[in-house]
């Protein structure tokens, strides 16, 4: 009986921990996932290939692998009609460099749709 009570308590604790973990990231979703003290190297020159019907060119960029910057070559992405592609970028903020991943934006205002209060308004000021 004592073993069953311990198992039930442990199970409840695990359930609460998982439930809390599922909610916790929502407050941090608007924050960049990567922030480092070291500035990224200058972008590499990468020739853009000729246009390809139905595709958008995503330029190469640096990503942080936890220890150093690693170059990711440019690639073709299938076009999403009505959306503009925003390339990944590094932004300096208070002495740290923050990585903002590439994204699709359907009203061309530069705000990722998941954070945009009016994602379908192209006349937003």
Its pTM stands at: 0.60
Are 77 and 108 in a shared domain?
Answer: yes
Q: How many domains does the chain have?
A: 2
Residues of the domain holding 14:
1-30
How many C-beta atoms lie closer than 10 Å to residue 49's C-beta? 10
Q: Are residues 41 and 14 in the same domain?
A: no
| 68 and 44 inside one domain | yes
Q: Tell me the pLDDT tens digit for each residue of 98-118.
A: 999 998 887 766 666 666 666
Same domain, 69 and 98: yes
CB 111 within 8 A of CB 87: no
Q: Which two tokens stand for residue 54?
A: 């139905």
61 in the same domain as 37? yes
- Same-domain pairing of 71 and 15: no
Q: Are residues 94 and 63 in the same domain?
A: yes
Clarify whether residues 19 and 71 are in a common domain.
no
Residues 62 and 90 in one domain: yes
Name the token pair of 74: 């440019």
pLDDT digits (tens, 9 = 90+) for 24-72: 443 344 556 788 999 999 999 999 899 999 999 999 999 999 999 999 9
Q: Are residues 94 and 43 in the same domain?
A: yes
- CA atoms of 106 and 84, how far apart (whole Å): 6
**Residue 34: Cβ within 10 Å count:** 15
């Amino acid at each position: 009986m004592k073993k069953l009570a311990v198992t039930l308590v442990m199970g409840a604790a695990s359930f609460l921990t998982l439930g809390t973990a599922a909610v916790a990231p929502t407050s941090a979703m608007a924050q960049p996932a990567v922030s480092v003290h070291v500035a990224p190297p200058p972008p590499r020159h990468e020739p853009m290939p000729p246009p390809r019907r139905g595709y958008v060119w995503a330029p190469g960029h640096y990503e942080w692998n936890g220890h150093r910057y690693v170059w990711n070559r440019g690639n073709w992405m299938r076009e999403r009609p009505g959306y503009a592609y925003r390339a990944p970028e590094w932004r300096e903020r208070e002495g740290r460099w923050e990585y903002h991943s590439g994204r699709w934006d359907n009203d061309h205002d530069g705000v990722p749709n998941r954070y945009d209060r009016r994602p379908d308004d192209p006349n937003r000021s």
